[in-house]
Chain A
Amino acid sequence: MLGLVLSKPAFVLPLFILSAMVLAGLAAPWLAPHSPVEGSLPNQLLPPIWHDGGNKDFLLGTDNLGRDILSRLIFGARVSLTVALVAITTGGMFGVAVGILAGYYGRWVDALLMRVTDLALSLPTILLALVLATIFEPSFTNVNLVIVLVLWSRFARQIRGEVLSVKQRDFVALAKVAGCSSSRIMLRHILPNVGNTIIVLATFQVAWVILLESTLSFLGVGIPPPNPAWGLMVAEGRNMLVSAYWISLFPGLAIALTVLSLNLLGDWLRDLLDPRLRQL
């Protein structure tokens, strides 16, 4: 694996960025120098270290409540990571299951499941989030709910198409002849053969989920304050661009780098694992 990575130097950087993000998310309490939510007013609006008046205790400066930007960034990685993990494990697994069932059984099962999938695909995510946020307070649960509601269908569509072709292959027919049950064929014979597609798809979808979550948080209908969500941090610095640009700049950069790395990695994995997906 390492040799493979090193053979493509262009991908060392995205992998490095993603590893740093995951590490930051996992080890946030040990890495972050300050609390992500508690500020100290005497330290409010400190500039980053390279400006006059920068403080070496607050490398990337502080916001208007005196909270350390670096610490909020590090804990913010944890927020994005959690949302992505929850969304991909629940929505992704459900979508894969639906895709395999629809592709394997065909006929009315396929017709029914695909109609529901099309319906979910056509749901306007941001609008749904607006409705949820007006009625209930914005919350972690609402964000995940909205994302999963649409995410699963993106998996189901693609996996179903893949299963349709895998199902035609000889080993499936042989397994049937050998007396395997349908559930065994789906789990043991079909699922491993769509594994590569799932990996590639999941990489792109994590990028989509992170972008969507940060957009919702920016609009005030996602992760509620005082949580250190990156999108929320960008919104908090919006009215202070003249005096304190760093509040918005760094979290936005973190989102952009993470999503960019995931998209590059996805492209690369697709070429490596599943060249047929290229035309998509």
Chain B
Amino acid sequence: MLGSLNRATQMRRYIIIRILQALLTLWVMTVAVFSMARLTGSPLDVMLDEYATPEDRARFAKHIGLDKPVTVQYGLFLSNLIRADLGESLRNHRPVVQLIQERSVASLQLGLVAFAFCIVIAIPLGIYTAVRKDGLVDNIGKAIAMLGQSLPSFWLGIMLIMIFAVTLGVLPASGRGSLKSYVLPAVTLGWHAVAGLLRLTRSAMLDVLDNEYVKLARLKGLPERVVLLKHCLKNALIPVVTFLGLIFVHLLSGSIVSETVFGWPGLGSLAIESVRFRDYPVTQGVVLFFTALFLIVNLLIDIFYAYLDPRIRY
């Protein structure tokens, strides 16, 4: 039945269903965040600090509609969300949206550096290990990939601090400032992704190297460099490019750990600080912001992938 629909209709169907799915996940997260604050008894205790006067409490109760039925409260919560009103921090009484804006810059910068680090290390190494399969570098690459899966990144970060900041004293242990301060947090953040990307590039290259047109190109007597770069790499890059989007998602969630280890003033450490001070409006805001970002990126990857690969069916 699906086969009779034309390609454009199918695509549209797929994209609509994916968008609905993403909205469903986002909705579940809002319900989770909303109901958990109420599960404790009174959301006032979670949303206001201990210095709140009875008048403050009454005013806030009215603001979130505590005297109304739960469904109305949830509606209010959603409409505040849509107007980007995430409430105020309990710690410094600043709007949560403003805090998120401020901290985003540092996170984005660190993410981009880590992203560049992944590409620069993993793709050339992946190509090289595929060409020289089972060589020394290939075995080192396999070890890197295995370690990337297994080393906890928070511990890796701490060991890097111990080696490069404490023992050798060549790189700063924390904070954001000079270019040097980006090195350790970015390596820690990108480490897992390097392992994944390395494996993927290698296996994509191996697949391509086996093809007839590669053999033909070689038979024609083309120089190896041209065969590898022009004939192989271009085709091997398709799965690699789609993986880059996933890496971005990965870096997003990884930023919480890396920023905590290195005291990087980004969104991840904002989230952890808010947990430490039990600043629920901020936790809630950052969590919803992260979730939305996650879903949007994932959605874009899926749509992009569906365009690239016509076999994808919902």
- Interface residues of chain A, those whose CB is within 8 Å of chain B, are 115, 118-119, 122-124, 126-128, 130-136, 207, 211, 214-215, 218-221, 231, 234-235, 237-238, 241-242, 245, 248-249, 252, 255-256, 259-260, 263-264
Contact = CB atoms under 8 A, between A and B. Distances in A.
A73 to B, nearest CB: 14
| Residues of B in contact with A, size category | 35 or more
A207 B150 contact: yes
A264 B150 CA distance: 10
A134 B159 contact: no
Q: Which of B151, B153, B298: most chain A CB closer than 10 A?
A: B151
Nearest to A208: B149
Contacts of B28: 119, 123
Contacts of B146: 260, 263-264
Contacts of A131: 32-33, 36, 283-284, 287
Contacts of A255: 152, 155
Interface string B270-286: 01101110111001101
A260 B150 contact: yes
B152 A134 contact: no
A127 B21 contact: no
Contacts of B256: 126, 130, 219
Interface string B119-154: 000000000000000000000000000110111111
Nearest to A207: B150
B294 interface: yes
Contacts of B275: 130, 133-134, 219-221
Contacts of A218: 152, 154-155, 257, 260
B152 A124 contact: no
Q: Which of B39, B274, B275, B278: most chain A CB closer than 10 A?
A: B275
B253 interface: yes
Contact of B155 (A128, A220, A248): A248
A181 B147 CA distance: 47
Contacts of B286: 130
A115 B25 CA distance: 10
B152 A215 contact: yes
Nearest to A242: B166
A5 B187 CA distance: 37
A136 to B, nearest CB: 7
A104 B162 CA distance: 53
B155 A219 contact: no
List the 10 closest pairs (A to B, CB-CB), nearest first: A252-B155, A260-B150, A134-B283, A259-B150, A127-B287, A218-B154, A122-B25, A134-B275, A256-B151, A255-B152
B111 to A, nearest CB: 16
B290 interface: yes
Contacts of A126: 253, 256
Nearest to A125: B253
Contacts of A264: 146
Contact of A135 (B21, B37, B271, B276): B37
Contact of B158 (A128, A220, A248, A259): A248
